[in-house]
Amino acid sequence: MKVLDAEFAQGFFRMCGDGFDQGWHERNGGNLSYRMKPEEVEEVKDDLGTYEGSVQDGTWQEIGTEVPALADEYFMVTGSGKYMRNVKIAPQDNVSIIHVDSTGTKFSIVWGLNKGGRPTSELPTHLMNLEVLKKRDSEIRVVYHCHPTNIIALTYVLPEDSEIFTREIWEMATECPVVFPKGLGVLPWMVCGGKEIGVATSKLMAKQDFVIWSQHGAFACGHDFDETFGLMHTVEKAAEVLLKVMAVTDRKRQTIEPDEFRDLSRAFNIPFDERFLYEKTPGARIGER
């Protein structure tokens, strides 16, 4: 089967367009990766290859970090500097499939990027996340990075603190703790595109499904494209509600209280991390404990 016709590839391309439609991918902002299932590799193997003189020339390039637990696996990843809005119309020019070598330190492009290029500059973070996620749950396969406006705006006005961020966002929609019961990780501003931010992000991703990069964007993971996109959408929507509330007041008249979250947790039979259900000081302003 051709890669372009495979169901996983179509889901990947659709998600790129959906993210663009939400306004989360200005210019080349954001990137997406997917750890292919062995049967999906098998399904498209005749369409993977090496072609002399093209980017699929069989050379091995440094990942820039080590991901031994991903040795010999295949990934679909967006290209660096490519625009998400173009993926749907020309996936073969904007997306690649890479093969990670047996040491987990190098990759080779085996499909796509037909007009040249290389995988996303955030490849170290994507692969390090996919590695810790595979150890956590071998069916988590999708890692998504985008630049969602409201989440980014909040990183200028809330403390860069996972507990406060999670709690303030949870209070903005009843579904939030049900969708991300392990809360949000938050990193302070760091230089992007390298190993150091990948190490820091994957440390959080080892326990949580969502990491905010202050003054930059966010990372979400999931078992499939729907779940991952839905998680990003849920957090971003709640961030928008929070900013609207903050635009008119610095104190809420009423909100969802810790014991109400506990009732919800029991009703849905999902444990919510108690770290986020701290008692607030009466009269505390939004973003204060």
**Which residues are registered as beta bridge partners of 213?**
187, 217
Structure tokens at 103: 């040491």
Q: How far is CA 241 from CA 23, 162, 233, 235, in A?
A: 17, 18, 12, 10
Return d(Cα 102, Cα 67) in angstroms, integer.
10
- The correct pick among 8, 28, 167, 201 for binding ligand 13P (CB under 6 A) is 28
Residues that bind Zn ion (CB under 5 A): 217
- The correct pick among 54, 61, 80, 149 for binding ligand 13P (CB under 6 A) is 80
Q: Active-site residue 122, yes or no?
A: yes
Q: Minimum CB separation from ligand 13P for residue 113, in Å?
A: 12
- The yes or no reply on residue 120 touching ligand 13P (CB under 6 A) is yes
Query: Which entry of 40, 73, 122, 168 is annotated as an active-site residue?
Result: 122
- The yes or no reply on residue 121 touching ligand 13P (CB under 6 A) is yes
**Which residues are registered as beta bridge partners of 100?**
107
CA 182 to chain centre: 15
- Minimum CB distance to ligand 13P smaller for 87 or for 238: 87
Structure tokens at 230: 């839905």
- The yes or no reply on residue 30 touching ligand 13P (CB under 6 A) is yes
Q: Which stretch binds ligand 13P (CB under 6 A): 40-48, 101-109, 120-128, 133-141?
A: 120-128
- The yes or no reply on residue 209 touching ligand 13P (CB under 6 A) is no
- The yes or no reply on residue 117 touching ligand 13P (CB under 6 A) is no
Q: Which helix or strand (DSSP H or E) is residue 217 part of?
A: strand 217-222
Structure tokens at 88: 């749907």
